[in-house]
């Protein structure tokens, strides 16, 4: 029973985070670019992008930009076969390279979680226990 309650809670939490792309509920241009570029590059089986910019508006760098444009900080979770045989550092470098234009134009930070499908399955199996 406890395990089921945790699973439901985790599902609802993830659903809320996934749906909360920004305050209006729609993707902005930076989030759209991240989605499109990573989908093309990685052909992921799972891609979750969460705009967390609102959590960082109080930081001095963001205040200097007037709070940013609301698209400065993202949590990105990707599961893709393209990561097979790569280290975490190589995976992250691949993503940062793909998003170099966005980073040059005001994207400030990415929190990346990059997994192969097998790693994702092992992680899910470990959480189910």
Q: Is the pLDDT at 97 greater than 50, yes or no?
A: yes
Higher pLDDT, residue 9 or 81: 81
φ, ψ of residue 73 in degrees (nearest 5) = -130, 130
d(CA 18, CA 20): 6
Task: Note the pLDDT tens digit of each residue in 79-92.
Answer: 999 999 999 999 99
**String of DSSP letters for 34-94:** HHHHHHHHH--SEEEEEE-GGGSTTSHHHHHTTSTTS-SEEEEEEE-GGGTT--HHHHHHH
The structure's pTM equals 0.72
Give backbone dihedrals phi and psi of 74, rounded to 5 degrees, phi first.
-135, 145
**Strand, coil or helix: 98:** helix
User: What pLDDT score was predicted for residue 57?
Assistant: 60
pLDDT for the residue numbered 16:
42
């Amino acid at each position: 029973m406890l395990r089921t309650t945790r699973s439901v809670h985790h599902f609802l939490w993830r659903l809320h985070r996934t749906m909360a792309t920004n305050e209006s509920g729609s993707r902005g241009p930076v989030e759209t670019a991240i989605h499109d570029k990573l989908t093309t590059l990685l052909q992921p089986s799972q891609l979750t992008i969460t705009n967390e910019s609102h959590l960082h508006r109080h930081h001095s760098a963001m205040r200097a930009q007037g709070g940013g444009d609301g698209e400065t900080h993202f949590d990105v979770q990707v599961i893709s076969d393209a990561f097979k045989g790569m280290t975490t550092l190589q995976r992250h470098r691949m993503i940062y390279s793909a998003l170099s234009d966005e980073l040059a134009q005001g994207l400030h930070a990415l929190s990346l979680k990059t997994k192969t499908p097998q790693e994702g399955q092992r992680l899910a199996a470990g959480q189910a226990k």
